Structure 1
Amino acid sequence: MNIKEHIRKKTRAVWHWVKTNKIKSGIAVVLLAGYYFCLPRTLFSEPYSTVIESTEGNLLGARIAADGQWRFPAQDSVPYKFRQCIVYFEDQHFYKHPGFNPVAIAKAMKQNHDAGHVVRGGSTLTQQVIRLSREHQKRSYFEKFIEIILATRLEFRHSKDEILGLYAAHAPYGGNVVGLQMASWRYFGVQPHQLSWAETATLAVLPNAPSLIFPGKNQKLLRAKRDRLLKKLYDEKVIDKTTYELSLQEDLPQKPFDLPQAAPHLLQRIAKKQDGQRIRTTVKSALQNRVNQIAARYYQEYRQTEVYNIAILVVDVKTRNVLAYVGNAPTDKAHQKDVDIIPAPRSTGSILKPLLFGSMLDAGELLPNTLVADVPTQIAGYSPKNYELTYDGAVPAQKALSRSLNIPAVLMLKDYGVYRFYDKLQDFKLSNINKSPNHYGLSLILGGAESNLWDLCRTYSGLTSTLNYFTASQAKYRSDEFTDLNYDSTVQRTFGSETWQKPVIGAGAIWCTYNSMKEVNRPEGDEAWKFYDSSLEIAWKTGTSFGSRDAWVIGTNSRYVVGVWVGNATGEGRPSLTGVGSAAPILFDVFNLLPRQKWFAPPYNDLQEAEICATSGHLAGEHCPVSKQWIPISGSKTKPCPYHKTVQLDPTGQYRVNSSCEAIDNMVTQTWFVLPPVMEWYYKNLHMDYRPLPPYKPGCEGTAGTYMDFIYPKENGKVYLTRNFAGEVQPVIFKAAHTNPKAKLFWYLGNEYLGETQTFHEMQVRAGTGNYYLTITDESGNEAKRFIKIEAPE
């Protein structure tokens, strides 16, 4: 008879018995079903502590469970030493019995009967797991029977090692300490797998009598129990003689240890979404500890100036993994130590300027060195000021960025458009910039909006990754380059599919922007960084909000992004607080902890070498001095230089002439760099090589073009009268500029003649409230006019 035939025969026999014994079969089915479902699907319903670990598996911190117990989630495996200790101490036949040990139960019942009270328990480790899960049940023989039934069922559901894991996670260790891992940290300050044999033996005997673990008490009893277990391990050849003798010499724990709290604010962030779970994060333990030390050192320094809060975020651009997360300085409760600054919205200051610069480069509306105006400006009643309250007249765009000049940034935003820039910021997923563009206006580029360190680091990570991928993949992009940052090591970010379509800004514009950001003035003590081969090459930008409330800095190289915020969580400003003075030193200290990276490779597929006007930074015109420069391909759409023109001079070169006053053969044709009057007035004071246009030779007829302009006021501007301390209304001072330093200007307010000025064109005016036309004329009849509204003080 073959095997198949034998199986069929047995099956038929079973079915025959079932049919002929229906009542017995029904009872058997009910009993089997009851046995199968008697064990709850979730054995332990108690809440767990939230636990976070570093990417290497080191404990970063934990948060007490909701019921006030320190109970860590069960681990996948139990350390070898604890497995040996607990089995030999509690249940030597653990790997052989089906969940209960009849021999041990019989011996325990006899000894307890003879003694008249309980002197020995006969429970296996499996039964103890059941008892721990039913901790509120009254102890009785019936309960013992229930435990035996459930223990056998548990043996069917879980492996022996899994059962040990449940025991290790829920065994009582005195007070509110539950489970091996918490006990290991509490009593010895290390992880379970780092315990010695003596330490492991101590923790193996404690669940049997958790009250023994009380600092300074019960030491003899606890030592005796531990040493008996060590002797048993030695007798069973689990440990050798040397290990045994050395273990006997080890001291018992004397005082509880504090849990590591290397990333308390990351723990707080994770607990909001993953409470009661064990999360292995992407944080690198050594880096986190070093960054914590940097934050603590600067906190001790800054607190002397009443600045109490610091946040630092370090991101791996390649993976978007968070490598270090410092949500706040080690301050106190009075200064908001529990507030996580990283996701908190704060005024951006100048930190958004590179995004505008890059957007204009990408749109073909700017080149890196294009001259932009830096003059007193009033736009619809809004008057931006540079931090140092000075004016350059005209400044190359990338110098305006590296020096963080406010007026050029506002004028650039005006040209680019607030609505367009707002849409770009939405593409960068800056979630806190969520009001209408009209709400922000031009102040959007100077800190009128709020953002947070998490979003800003994500944005710069996306830009860096866009550039890296483009140069590494033959001019391709990825569709989801600005994906969110990640702190969970079990999660792997994806970046979408390959595409020829740029995600937000093209690689060429990013590369030019980063080259400009590399030139930002370094913090005090690192001004000569360019002269050292070992200097850090990073693209970085600072920001200081209005009232010195927030100091920002974001920096990136080809692999890492570091973001730093310094200030007070309460929003109080401090005069000493600036991005370059307060946040930047922290940034460079953090970058010094990271591996050095090569500078970004040029994305040649999105660049072109163009002829640029060496003076104005525009595309070279017909009369420009030319230099070669790599610019984004879109830069070819920009206008050629408007500032170089040809002029006709007399043979001496001292006067401009035309055919009405000079023979054509005597005229000398020359190229001249000419700025608009207001820009020129400030520019020439900082550039000694700038040559204003010569005046026209006496007798020459008419001049073409405009050669003068108002510095103050601006068109349709409001002029507010002020009072001095005596309450007297003060005069208004109007200013103008003329290309001819010897020119005379004649001033009129409405139909009233005010007077004339020469060389320095400033006119002091006393006028009542109302609407006026302010007019200036020169000796050649050129005229400039402004409509103004003068309002009196309240």
Structure 2
Amino acid sequence: MTAATIAGAFTLHHLDQAYPPPLENTGALSQEVVDRKGALLRVYAAPDGRWRLKAEIEQLDPQFIKMLVAYEDRRFWSHSGVDPIALARAAMQLVLNGRVVSGGSTLSMQLARLIEPREERSFSAKFRQIARALQIEWRLSKREILNRYLTLAPYGGNLEGVRAASLAWFGKEPQKLTLSEAALLVALPQSPEARRPDRHPDTAKSARDRVLARMAKAGIIAEGEVERASRGKVAAQRLPMPAFAAHLADTVIRATPGELRRPLLLDRGVQAALEEVAREGARRLGRKVSVAMVMADARTGDVLARVGSAGYFDSSRAGWIDMSVAERSPGSTLKPFIYALAIEDGLVMQETMIEDRPGNFHGYRPRNFDMEYQGDVTVRQALQMSLNVPAIRLLDAVGTARLISRLKRAGVQLALPKGQAPGLAIGLGGAGLTLEKLVQAYTALANRGEARMLRYSTEDEETASTEVLTPAAAWQIADMLSGVVPPQGAPRLGIAYKTGTSYGYRDAWAVGYDGRHVLGVWVGRPDGGSVPGLTGYLAAAPILFEAFSRSGVGITPFPPRPAGAVRLTAAELPMPLRRFSSTFSAAQTGAPTEPAPEIVFPPEGARIDVGLSENRNAGILALKIIGGRAPFRWLANGKPLAETFRRRTASWAPDGGGASTLTVIDAAGRTASVSVFLE
């Protein structure tokens, strides 16, 4: 190596280090929110107003990449930034024709122009471009160069990069393009404004067809495919960028403003289907009415879809307001939890008779929604018909504090009027609750009594499920709610569901679930205005059934009946459970002066070996209480024992091992329960 060569190399190296290419001049990228599979939910324009999405050639259509390289820079994979053959050909054509016929720029040179744009077209500018291309090739791999070029290349208007172009012109990611689409995306960056398909469709078509012809001549595509692809029309209009789960996307972007890509647990297919159902439902229901929905996997807590309104950009319905997290009166949607607690306590079973007549509960006089009363009904009928008075009778018996406590276990906090203690009215919607939290509570009903905290991202803490109800009580509620008649015109789907309507026709609710998924629907006006005739059954339930049908998740069967869960006929019920009575007169029982009953054996949470592992039917479990007033009746997993006991000791022969719940009820209707595990 001569001294001159060494000196020249040293000088070039020094100049390269002193004047490196401005590779950081890529402009800010658009922020993306994607679903659990990486599908784009929502994208945001960069701060400079341009749609600029990062491209990765591994995620682009291979045919498009092959056509791009063949058309723009066929020796791209072998040259070092400059193609001498292409430059010589361009220079010769310039001399012979007196004008530029074809360019000699490589993709590396075009990238240099994109990161360091210059207005003048001169030989000196071209030489600087060549020098920059050489520097780029020294620093980046070929794949990195292609990625950067396909992120920054102009495609008309404020579109930069192949992903933004494909979304705007074709409404899809450039992972699998038609031959016609791929050819148009190859042609656009050369003259992005003159070839914009929405403004100059004929010019765009001609440019696309020239690309197709050259690809056929180069042997990239077959001649027969050219004719078929040339018959296709170019995009007539520019499409809006994806904006699925727009409210939720706004929330996560505000929370993490520096992150370019935020993955969520949502499923884009489910989200898109529910948003369409919401829009259609709102149009049917009239002006100013909006719809919100939340669908979650009850076993994991993963939120599969969250629709905040009937249309994020629909100002006539205040679509920018996220009604999935707005506190509203939940109407009757909490009644299933009241009935579940009453079943747990052994106060009622499905065929227990209960009064539906006007009542006075410490000054609170609830009335049924239709102002009519049914007289004596079964507990099953009372829940299915959503009768108000029976629900308040049961809530008065189990206590509002217990209902609130169980909801807190599910991570649900009711919003009560300022300065007021919780009263019986919470059973009919006298508290604030969001749709999101209502769905979270219902995960307990769909998941054998265990609630799951809702999760939107893999970064959200995954918490263990929390027992809110016994499996037997959850099964009884599902058995009753799955028998509710579907709304008119809706097919039976094999789901359990409950509706609710708030005071003054302001909010209509429907929450449904199968053996895995919970879907909640809210309908109303975001401003809280009344909508005459708006009810859960007529407005929200049809949307619930349609959304479940179109969501694509399918219907999961309910879990099998847990041990001890039985559905007795009226004739099989023990006498105390044939009719519910929450009051005991002094003439019948005398004023209760004894302390309430307390189970001292088995203790709460105990694991007890009763010999079931050796002989399935060998176990006999002793039961003992203190306090309470005789006679006592015992229930094992919701099923009454055969006899009533006057003594404070009893025995039970379980029919199997595992988790069990034991409940004792004294003559004054007071109860105590423990959960144990038998081995």
Name the TM tier (shorter chain): 0.7 to 0.9
The answer as to whether partners of 2:288 and 2:318 remain within 8 angstroms in 1 is no
Report the count of equivalent residues. 589
State how far apart, in whole Å, the 1-side matches of 2:667 and 2:23 are: 76
Q: SS at 1:592's partner residue?
A: helix
Please give the residue correspondences for 1:210-249 in structure 2 after superposition, counting only pairs within 5 Å.
210-215=192-197, 222-223=204-205, 225-249=207-231
CA 251–421 in structure 1, closer or farther in 2 if over 3 Å, else same:
closer
Letter in 1 for 2:298: V
Corresponding position of 2:370: 388
- Give the match for residue 578 of structure 1: 535
Distance 1:435 1:151 in 2: 68
Q: Aligned in 2, Cα 1:246/1:615: closer, same or farther, shift over 3 Å?
A: closer
Provide the secondary structure at the position in 1 that maps to 2:148: helix
Deviation sequence 1:607-644 (CA, Å, 0-9, x none): 8999633622699x9899x9x974795463233697xx
Letter paired with 1:564: V
Matched, 1:310 2:274: no
- Counting only pairs closer than 5 Å after superposition, residues 300-449 of structure 1 correspond to structure 2 as 300-303=283-286, 308-330=289-311, 332-362=314-344, 367-368=349-350, 374-379=356-361, 381-391=363-373, 396-430=378-412, 433=415, 438-449=420-431
Once the 2 structures are TM-superposed, how far is the Cα of residue 246 of structure 1 from its aligned partner? 3.1
Correspondence 1:511 to 2:475: yes
2:513 matches 1:542: no
1:484 partner letter: L
Deviation, structure 1 residue 342? 1.7
RMSD: 4.5
Give how far 1:52 is off.
Answer: 4.5
Alignment partner of 1:482 is 2:452: yes
Judge conservation of contact 1:50–1:65 (CA < 8 Å) in 2. Answer: no
Distance 1:337 1:216, change over 3 A: closer
TM-score calculated relative to the size of structure 1 = 0.63
Tell whether the 8 Å contact from 1:312 to 1:565 is kept in structure 2 after alignment.
yes
1:603 maps to: 562
Provide structure 2 residue ranges, at least 5 long, that are not aligned to the other structure.
1-5, 583-629, 641-658, 670-679
Question: 1:547, CA displacement in angstroms?
Answer: 0.8
**Which string of whole-angstrom CA distances, capped at 9 and with x for unpartnered residues, describes residues 199-249 of structure 1?**
322221221111222458766655554444333322321111212333344
SS of residue in 1 equivalent to 2:324: coil
- The answer to whether the 8 A contact 1:54-1:60 is kept is no
**Match of residue 45 from structure 1:** 27
Contact persistence 2:108–2:145 (CA under 8 A): yes
- Distance in 2, matches of 1:166 and 1:422, equals 56
Between the aligned partners of 1:342 and 1:597, the Cα distance in structure 2 is 24
Please say if residues 320 and 493 of structure 1, whose CA atoms lie closer than 8 Å, have aligned partners that are also in contact.
no
Aligned mates of 1:384, 1:524 — CA distance in 2: 28
1:612 to 570, 574, 588: 574
Which residue does 2:618 correspond to in 1? none
Match of 1:74 among 52, 55, 70: 55
Letter in 1 for 2:308: G
Q: Whole-Å Cα distance in 1 between the matches of residues 479 and 69 of structure 2?
A: 64
**Aligned-pair CA distance for 1:252:** 4.1
Q: Find the aligned partners of 1:580 and 1:166 in 2 and give their Cα distance.
A: 54
Q: Which runs of 5+ in 1 are unaligned?
A: 1-23, 468-476, 527-533, 643-794
Deviations 1:365-419 (Å, cap 9, x if unpaired)? 6655555565544456543322233456665544433332333333433443434
State the structure with more CA Rg.
1
Where in structure 2 are the equivalents of 1:716-735 lying within 5 Å? none
Instruction: Return the match for 1:496 from 444, 464, 467.
Output: 464
Equivalent residue runs for 1:775-794 within 5 Å:
none
In 2: Cα distance, 1:483 partner to 1:137 partner: 57
| Residue type at the aligned position of 2:578 | T
CA distance in 2, matches of 1:122, 1:88: 13
Counterparts of residues 590-739 of structure 1 (less than 5 Å):
590-593=547-550, 595-604=554-563, 612-613=574-575, 615-616=578-579, 630=639, 634=661, 636-639=663-666
Q: Distance in 1 between matches of 2:159 and 2:185?
A: 12
Report the TM-score, using the length of structure 2 for normalisation: 0.73
**Counterpart mapping for 1:47-126 below 5 A:** 47-48=29-30, 50=32, 52=34, 55=37, 57=39, 62-75=43-56, 76-101=58-83, 104=86, 121-126=103-108
Q: Where do residues 146-165 of structure 1 align in structure 2 (5 Å cutoff)?
A: 151-152=133-134, 154-155=136-137, 158-165=140-147
How high is the sequence identity, in percent, across the aligned residues? 29
Alpha carbons 2:344, 2:638 under 8 Å: kept: no
Question: SS at the partner of 1:513?
Answer: helix
Change over 3 Å in CA distance of 1:230–1:351 after alignment to 2? same
SS in 2 for 1:347: coil
2:508 matched residue in structure 1: 551
Distance in 2 (alpha carbons) for counterparts of 1:456 and 1:29: 71
Secondary structure of residue in 1 paired with 2:423: helix
Q: Residue 523 of structure 2 aligns with which residue?
A: 566
Give the residue type in structure 2 aligned to 1:451: L
